[in-house]
Structure 1
Amino acid sequence: MKCFLKYIGIVDTRDKIHYVPFYPGLNVITGKSSTGKSAILEIFDYCMGSSEDTIPVGVITDRSKIFFVVLQFASFVLVLGRNAGTNKCFLREVPSAQADSLIALIESVGAFFDPRYYVPLADFIKSLGRYFGVTLENIDEDPLHKELTGKKSETPSIRSFPSFMLQHQNLVANKHAIFYRFDQKHKRDQAIEHFKILMGIVGEEYFDLAKEHNVAKQELRRIQLQIPKQDMVKASAIALFSDCLSEYLALAGTPLIELTPEEMWKNPKPALRKVMERSVRIDGLSDEFEKKRNGLLDTKAELMIKLRSAQGDLRLAKSSIDSASGFGLTMTSLPIPSSSALEEAAICPFCDAHSDTPEDEANKLSDAIHWLNKELKLSSYARESFGEERRSIEKEIKAIEAQLKEVQNSLKPLDEEITRLKLSKNVDESAQRAKFRLEEAIKQRIEKPPSDLVDSEAYWKARVKALADEMAEYQVASELEKLQNDINDKMRQLGQNFDFEEAYKPVDLRFDLETFDLWHQKDKDTKVYLRSMGSGANWLYSHLTLFMSLHYQFAARADSGCKIPPILFLDQPTQVYFPAALDAGKKFAPEVLAIQANRQDKLEDDIDAVTSMFNQIANFCTDTHQQTGVMPQMIICDHADNLDLEEGLEFSDYVRATWRTRGFIAEVEPA
């Protein structure tokens, strides 16, 4: 995104304007303590739609009425404003032709800050997002996410920008934290997830595809879960057809129909017609009834033998468990001798000589009892072994009982037929009933046809693959890998220019886009994370190296969809060298600050390090502009002033405000 910060300003309670102008490249605001330098970052964040007002309490908050920020785009400027302590935000677009006279327009406070341009905070964030191309309404890849959670996933907005644009005083050299407001895990996770969107790697069309892909996968899974159930329904129906045919054969002595149960399942309507057309014919000479019944009785007998055997095994397993438990409890409760000393001295009866043998044997007995108790305490292992055997036998018994039930169900109509024949002498009735049962089973198959899940499965498999192929064209993984490699390559290049400790030279900083972790790769197998690097200078240079590398990518990808403008605020980066709590001088006096910090012996080196840091930042802006066509904007608020930069660079050229005799809000003449 090509835009830069043009002004940050305040309208005070007397409608007087106080502002700082900014330009592409390096910008420095220098001054003593408590003049409003750090407030610059907070005003910017507040005007960018922060839900919190973190502007430091003091003169600025006491005397300010409206805070405003001006962003310069190619063909217009955008004025963002916000009244102190409210969630009403001002948003007004002004043509570039009026950019040079913008401050004069703003000075007519009542006319410029017309109430018509004020909107609620939520609407302001959405409207401002449109200028940066951040317009996604839904990034849920799971279509059920909103139904399950009651809300959509957080979408990227301009509120994602400050994490990459602001390095506050307590953050710029922090060893535990790198990004603004990453102390809240959900914001960190959102930033990581949104980064590929903000970098222009994916857009809303990608998430539409992702949702379709998930819908297709869910439908495929639903069908695949149904297939085994349908197979069970099919197997059950075929078994019923087979039972009916077998029962009819046993009762009538002749087959009802030539079709197999599988053929009847496959073509139920023709099968039903043939069954209904076939009249019941009884073959009185057939022995099929006895063969069928005797076969079932033999099977029943075999199953009963297996069942009795399994039940016996189960009793033994339960008895073994009870015995192990009881024996273990009994033995562990036995008293153990506390001493092996014998009441009387052991004297040999033959030679009256003293002997240690009885005492040794007593000690061995005591050790043996201790060992046995220890082993018995482990009897839970033995019980578990018996328990596993018991569960296996119980499972076997259930299976046998199920088979036995099937056999008994098959025997029941045959036994009933014997009783019926004794009473009614009607041979055709039972066979007719078996035929009728078969007709009803086939009708059930016709009335509830199974869906063609095989064809549906093939369709959804193809759909899942087609959508996956479309998503693969975005090459998200490879694009993120390329971006990560570009960031790391740039960090290796930039890192060599900063004064890291010797232990970390040559510095090889790495950044992981999946976790947003930063570390120094000491060797092939050793990662030294920021928290373990030691020294405030190392932490500062690691932050600078990472953020300069990120902003290089923001500039390089400005024309290819990157939403984040390369604007970076650095608050008090020299604090690792001049950590004085109070700087009240009328000019920057490093020797005084060095005394306060007890660093007099390092003053010259500290000045050189600070000067080198500003040289590198100024050169970075110029080099990035030459290489990408976009000039990043680096805004540094610091005590440092009047540094003797390298040839061709004048520190005063980068200073936008010096607050030594005044602060951000200049003194106003009494009314």
Structure 2
Amino acid sequence: MKTLIHEIGVIDKQGIKHPVNFKAGLNVVTGKSSTGKSALIEIFDYCFGSSENTIPKGVITTSAAIYYVALAVNEQDMVIARDPDMATKAFFRRVDAFNTTEIDRDYFNANYFRPLKEFTKHLRGFFLDIDDVDESLQTRINRGQKAPTPSIRSFSSFILQHQNLVANKHALFYRFDEKEKRDQAIEHTKIFLGLVDQKFFHLSQEKERLNAEERRLERQKETNKRTSESYKQKVGPVLSQLYALMGFKDVPLSLDKVLRHPQDAKDQLDVIIVAEKINHNSDAITQRYMQLKQARNQKTSELRQLQRQASSIKKHIHEEERFVDNIKQFSSPKHVHISASICPFCQTEKNSLRESAEKLQQAISKVSGNLAQARPMKAKFESSLVEVQRTIEVVNRALTELNQQITEIEKTEKQLIEQKSLYESIVMQKAKLFALLDTLNMADDAELEKEIKEVRKQLKQITDALKVYDVKKGLTHASDKVNEYMSVIGSHFEFEASYKPINLHFSFETFDLYHLTPDDEKIYLRSMGSGANWLYCHVTLFLALHKYFAELGDKCAIPSILFLDQPTQVYFPNFNRDNSATFEEQKKQEAEQRKTLNVGQNIDEDIKAVENLFSQLSTYCNDLKSNIGFSPQIIVTDHADNLKLSNGVEFESLVNGNRWRNRGLIEPVPEQVKKAD
């Protein structure tokens, strides 16, 4: 998903703003130790919905009243923020166009803060439109709740490489040390890559249901028996009807006993159901008739309500589809051609018409942009429609059964009017009951065959529809593309000679990364030596991933941003104590320290490797911009400075004013913080 960070900043407790601005492509924030460079990635993570505040304790946390991030998602600008005193809430505000001058303490109005769980769901709507990710309804029942839907928190694994992770040999992805979060991120990858949508999960649920139905019918056919619930549904109404015709107020033989011993029940009923025991004065049949009609009225009302609900949902789905189609066809004018008006008397040129036309163009562009970013609701409507349609099927079956019972009573009354005896109707009802009891353990094979045929027909239709979603093939293709990109990207980095040519392989199914030797031996990251190798594996993989994400465009939900926090630490491990006024001064101290410690590695060689790293990052962004129109925004926080890049790009243009040698993120430091220190 095309995403761009405009600004990351802090509003301190005195109301002073401390912003850091970014642009598209490669950005570098450079400076000495303890200036707040690494805090930027933590501030972003916190504002992006993290439940834990991991911003390093110190001047920043002591000073901060608000942490904020201004970003654009598919050109929709927004500001997200956190107040450390309101840990369970987060701030969200959509804007027409981000303007840094508008950001101050009053901008973060309390009305825009919402519970953190609601915030993450709302923000997710800009990246994903999905409501139900259960492929199996049975699994949902066993679990007792719906499966977790994809969260924006899973995106962090693909876009954040912290200082302790960027060259780690034991871990590649942020948050993967927690198994539940790791498994969720891997499971949801097929959604993030656009391989499946909401329809896929509904089809999968229906396929499971129909498969279960087919197995049930097959078992019925094989065993030639009905389930006890089926017996009750058929025998119960007939037995109740028989008792009502006899005029019995009390039930002489319960349904459970009849079902438990059908033959014994027939013998007892032969004694009970006789002409002498008919109560002609009883209103039992009338009472039953009224109860059935009342039940039918209730079911009819319930059915009508469900039908109206389904119709309303379908209308909403249709309207949203029509709205989306219209928006796709809508485009604002690119240029305004207005001739200037000239006074016929004094020949003075007037620009008022031109200015009005330009304002109109801006207004049209703003309106079209807002319409295009309307949050989709189709997936939620489709989920609701599926539930309503399933309920309609249940109510329809119940209504059919009630109609049959009412019709039987009315038929009996009609026969009495036609001077047929009541006992004759009772005998017919008794015969019907006895026929059911005789065939209690027999199945209707013809009816079963018909049902099985219909289920298989529906199953084939769904199976054909699911063939469009070949998830395994899609993941394999994605892995192949990433491996292809890693082959090219990795060839430009200084891997050790034993790993050249580097041949990295990654799987979207397991999320494992390994180097494949010419002898087909897999060497996993944890078994590769040297911090430089680990760093280049991380960088190569994440650049390849983001290249693939960028090429997918809007189909991919993962934001097109990547943080690399201090990647050069493998070359300059002592730079974590960098307090020099310039990077050149720090390099001299490093060289002297290496001589003292008899470290053979030449610092100039390390500088060349670092320059190559930044050169490749810059070239990567520029090449992607040329090929597909945009590249992931890469934000690197590091000590390195004044580098000479091989692609001719000025390093200063990447720093863009974000050099912290004589200052830090919080500048000036509030007086009360200085006193506390």
Cα pair distance change 1:543/1:224, threshold 3 Å: same
Aligned residue for 1:592? 589
8 A Cα contact 1:171 1:180, kept in partner = yes
For the 8 Å contact 1:583–1:593, the answer to whether it is kept is: no
Displacement after TM superposition at 1:231 (Å): 7.5
Q: Partner of 2:236 in structure 1?
A: none
Q: 5+ unaligned residues in a row in structure 1: which ranges?
A: 234-438
- What is the aligned partner in structure 2 of residue 650 from structure 1? 650
- What amino acid does structure 1 have at the position aligned with 2:100? I
Q: 2:92 corresponds to which residue?
A: 91
How far 1:218 sits from its partner (Å)?
1.5
- Looking at structure 2, the residues matched to 440 and 31 of structure 1 have their Cα atoms a distance apart, in angstroms, of 91
Q: Secondary structure at the match of 2:137?
A: coil
Which AA in structure 2 matches 1:638?
Answer: D
Could you say if the C-alpha distance between residues 465 and 440 of structure 1 is closer, same or farther in structure 2, counting changes exceeding 3 Å?
closer
Q: Given residue 194 of structure 1, which amino acid in structure 2 is its aligned partner?
A: H
Tell me, yes or no, if the aligned pair for 1:556 and 1:630 is still in contact at 8 Å: no
1:183 counterpart SS class = coil
Quote the residue 1:423 is aligned against.
none
Aligned to 1:477: 472
Match of 1:64 in 2: 64
State the alpha-carbon separation in 2 of the partners of residues 618 and 32 from structure 1: 22
Contact 1:511 1:517 in 2 (8 A): yes
Q: CA deviation at 1:3?
A: 2.1
State how far apart, in whole Å, the 1-side matches of 2:55 and 2:505 are: 34
Structure 2 vs 1, CA of residues 211 and 596 (structure 1 numbering), >3 Å: closer, same or farther? farther
1:460 aligned residue (455, 464, 486): 455
Residue matched to 1:523: 518
Quote the sequence identity (%): 44
Alpha carbons 1:206, 1:471 under 8 Å: kept: yes
CA distance in 2, matches of 1:3, 1:443: 68
Task: Indicate whether 1:121 and 2:116 are aligned.
Answer: yes
- Residue 316 of structure 2: aligned partner: none
Q: Does 2:563 correspond to 1:569?
A: yes
User: Does the C-alpha gap of structure 1 residues 558 and 232 become closer, same or farther in structure 2, counting only changes over 3 Å?
Assistant: closer
Is 2:181 aligned against 1:187?
Answer: yes
Give, in whole Å, the separation in 1 of the partners of 2:440 and 2:568.
83
SS of the equivalent of 1:65 reads strand
- Any idea what the Cα deviations from partners look like across 1:214-269, whole Å, max 9, x if unmatched? 11111122223333321899xxxxxxxxxxxxxxxxxxxxxxxxxxxxxxxxxxxx
Range moving further from structure 2, 542-551 or 87-96:
87-96
Alignment-mate amino acid for residue 58 of structure 1: G
Is 2:573 the counterpart of 1:579? yes
CA displacement at 1:579 relative to structure 2: 0.7
The residue aligned with 1:277 is none
C-alpha distance in 2, partners of 1:668/1:185?
40
Within 5 Å, give how 1:315-326 maps onto structure 2.
none
Question: Which of 443, 452, 459 is the aligned partner of 1:450?
Answer: 443
Partner SS for 2:172: coil
Correspondence for 1:30: 30
Supply the AA of the counterpart residue of 1:141: E
Q: Point out the more displaced range, 20-29 or 469-478.
A: 469-478
> What is the match of residue 281 of structure 2?
none
Worse-matched range after superposition: 625-634 or 599-608: 599-608
Q: 1:442 to 1:667 in 2, by over 3 A?
A: closer
Letter of the 1:115 counterpart: A
Q: Post-superposition shift, 1:83?
A: 0.2
Q: In the aligned structure 2, how far is the partner of 1:69 from the partner of 1:448?
A: 70
Q: Counterpart in 1 of 2:660?
A: 659
- Distance in structure 2 (CA, Å) of the matches to 1:124 and 1:461: 44
Structural RMSD (CA): 2.2
Assess, with a 3 A threshold, how the Cα gap between structure 1 residues 24 and 514 changes in structure 2: closer, same or farther. same
Q: Verify the 8 A CA contact 2:214 2:456 in the aligned structure 1.
A: yes
Instruction: State the partner residue of 2:621.
Output: 621
Contact between 2:10 and 2:66, CA under 8 Å: does it hold in 1? yes
In the alignment, which residue of structure 2 is the partner of 1:103? 100
Conservation of the 8 A alpha-carbon contact between 1:75 and 1:95: no
Aligned to 1:226: 220
Matched, 1:557 2:552: yes
Q: 1:465 to 1:36 in 2, by over 3 A?
A: same
Instruction: Give the equivalent residue in structure 2 for 1:302.
Output: none
Aligned-partner Cα distance in 2 for 1:523–1:207: 41
Residues 328-386 of structure 1 show CA distances to partners (whole Å, capped at 9, x for unaligned) of: xxxxxxxxxxxxxxxxxxxxxxxxxxxxxxxxxxxxxxxxxxxxxxxxxxxxxxxxxxx
Deviation at 1:443, TM superposition (A): 6.8
- Give the match's secondary structure for 1:636: strand
Kindly state the Cα deviation for residue 500 of structure 1 after the two structures are TM-superposed.
Answer: 0.5
* Pairing 1:212-611 to 2, within 5 Å after superposition: 212-230=206-224, 444-446=437-439, 449-451=442-444, 452-523=447-518, 525-559=520-554, 561-580=555-574, 581-588=576-583, 589-596=586-593, 598=597, 599=599, 601-611=601-611
Classify the secondary structure of the residue corresponding to 2:495. coil
Give the drift of 1:606: 0.7
Q: Classify the secondary structure of the residue corresponding to 2:36.
A: coil
State yes or no: 1:178 paired with 2:175: no
Deviation of the 1:445 alpha carbon: 3.9
Counterpart AA for 1:544: V
Distance 1:57 1:668 in 2: 15
8 Å CA contact 2:9, 2:67 repeated in 1? yes
Compute the TM-score of the two structures, normalised by the length of structure 2. Answer: 0.65
1:459 deviates by 2.7
Q: Provide, for residues 379-409 of structure 1, a one-character-per-residue CA deviation record: whole Å limited to 9, x for no partner.
A: xxxxxxxxxxxxxxxxxxxxxxxxxxxxxxx
Deviations 1:480-521 (A, max 9, x none): 222111111000110100011111111110001110000011
Larger radius of gyration: 1
Deviates more, 1:650-659 or 1:166-175: 650-659
SS of 2:8's equivalent in the other structure is strand
Q: Show CA shifts across 1:598-652 (max 9, x none).
A: 5463212111110100000000001111122122111001110011112521111
Q: Is the 8 A contact 1:37 1:664 kept in 2?
A: yes
SS in 2 for 1:144: helix
Q: Does 1:12 align with 2:19?
A: no
Change (3 A) 1:224 1:449: closer
Gapped runs of 5+ residues in structure 2? 228-431, 673-677
* Equivalent position amino acid for 1:60 in 2: I
Once the two structures are superposed, residues 307-329 of structure 1 have per-residue CA deviations (whole angstroms, 9 ceiling, x without a partner) of: xxxxxxxxxxxxxxxxxxxxxxx
8 Å Cα contact 2:221-2:443 kept in structure 1: no
In structure 2, the CA distance between the partners of 1:84 and 1:594, relative to structure 1 (3 Å rule), is: farther
Q: Distance in 2 between matches of 1:647 and 1:480?
A: 34
Q: Match of 1:200, SS?
A: coil
Q: How far apart in 2 are the matches of 1:73 and 1:530?
A: 33
Deviation digits for residues 81-116 of structure 1, max 9, x if unmatched? 1101422111111112xx3xx221112x22x11111
Q: For the structure 1 residues 23 and 232, does the alpha-carbon distance in structure 2 shift closer, same or farther, using more than 3 Å as the test?
A: closer
SS of corresponding position for 2:573: coil
Q: Kindly indicate whether the alpha-carbon contact (under 8 Å) linking 2:225 and 2:443 is maintained by their aligned counterparts in 1.
A: no
Q: Residues 75 and 168 (structure 1 numbering): CA distance in 2 closer, same or farther, change over 3 Å? A: closer
